A and B are shown apart, each in its own frame.
Chain A
C-alpha cells in the first residue's frame, strides 16, 4: 500500500470507544475549518466543517469543537468502528487568503477490534 500516514502521530482506539483527534491551527484570522478523512489509496473525504462564529457542531457520530482562544480544533468520533481507521486532517481557510486551505499534519487512527 501507499505510505500515507506512515510518519504521522497515531491514535490507537478500541472498537466502540470514543476517539478524540486534536489540531492546533496557526492563523487567528482563519474563519472556516474542515476535517477530512483519508483512507489508504483514496483522496481526502469531507467529514464536517465549522465556522469561526460557532464553537461546536455535530454530525452523524462526529462532533467538531473549536476553541478560538487557544486556536485549537478537535474532532470527536463516537463509538469508533473499524471503518473509521484512516488518517484525519484538519484544514483552515485563512480568512483574507481567500479560498485557499492550509492543512494540519494529520493523525492516523487505528481501531483495534
Chain B
C-alpha cells in the first residue's frame, strides 16, 4: 500500500489558535480524506480533499472551521481553526489505493493527536 505520513504527530495548543496538519503520500492518489476521531470514539469523516477544487465537507463540518488544501496528488493539509477544547481529537488522513490492481480501499496515516487547552 501507499506510505502515508502526517505532521505533526501530536501537538498541544492554546484555545483560539489554529493548527495546520500535513498529510504526505509517497505515490500519486486521486482520493484523499480527512477524519476526526474523538477520544474513545470511532472515526467520522470531515471532508474529501479534492485536487484542484474545493473540498467536499460532510454534514456538521464547515470550511471556515476546517479549511483544507490539496495542491497536488500527493499532499493535503487540514487546518483546525480557532480551536477550543472540544477540538481535542486524533485527526487522520486517508488515501484510496488499489492493491493488486483490484478493489480500491482506504489506507490511513498515523494520525495527529491534538490537545487543546
A111 at the interface (CB under 8 A from B): no
- Best-surrounded residue of B43, B96, B111 (most CB of chain A within 10 A): B43
Which residues of A60-112 are within 8 A (CB) of B?
89, 91, 99-106
Of the candidates A4, A6, A42, A49, which one forms a contact with B105 in the assembled complex, judged by CB atoms under 8 Å apart? Answer: A49
> Which of A5, A46, A103 is the one whose CB lies under 8 Å from B43?
A103
When distances are taken between beta carbons in the complex, the residues of chain B under 8 Å from A2 are 39, 90, 113
Within 8 A of B (CB), among A24-62: 32, 34, 36, 42-46, 49, 51
Complex interface bits, B44-60 against A, C-beta within 8 A gives 1, otherwise 0: 11001000000000100
Chain A residues, Cβ within 8 Å of B104: 99
- For the complex, is A11 an interface residue (Cβ under 8 Å from B)? no
Once A32-B103, A34-B106, A101-B106 are accepted as A-B contacts, the answer to whether A46 and B39 lie under 8 Å apart by CB is: no
Contact B92 A43 (CB under 8 A): yes
Q: Main SS of chain A's interface residues? A: loop
Give Cα A108 to B109, complex, Å. Answer: 20
Q: Is the CB of B105 within 8 A of A89?
A: no
Please classify how large the interface on chain A is, using the bins under 10, 10 to 19, 20 to 34, 35 or more: 20 to 34
Question: Chain B: how many interface residues by the 8 Å CB criterion?
Answer: 27
Minimal beta-carbon separation of A97 from chain B (angstroms): 10
Contact B43 A44 (CB under 8 A): yes
Write the chain B residue with the least CB distance to A5: B40
B20 at the interface (CB under 8 A from A): no
Nearest Cβ on chain A to B86's Cβ, whole angstroms:
15
Q: Are B103 and A51 interface neighbours, CB within 8 A? A: yes
| Contact assessment for B45 and A104 in the assembled complex, using a CB-CB cutoff below 8 Å | no
User: Within residues 19 to 72 of chain B, which ones have a CB less than 8 A from any CB in chain A?
Assistant: 31, 33, 37, 39-45, 48, 58
Chain B residues near A45: list those with CB within 8 A: 108
Please give the residue numbers on chain B whose beta carbons come within 8 Å of chain A beta carbons, in ascending order: 1, 4, 31, 33, 37, 39-45, 48, 58, 90, 92, 96, 103-111, 113
Interfacial residues, chain A to chain B (CB-CB below 8 A): 2-8, 32, 34, 36, 42-46, 49, 51, 89, 91, 99-106
| Ranked 3 nearest A-B pairs via Cβ | A7-B40, A43-B108, A3-B39
| Known pairs A2-B113, A46-B105, A103-B43 / 5 extra A-B pairs, C-beta < 8 Å | A2-B90, A4-B40, A7-B41, A51-B103, A100-B58
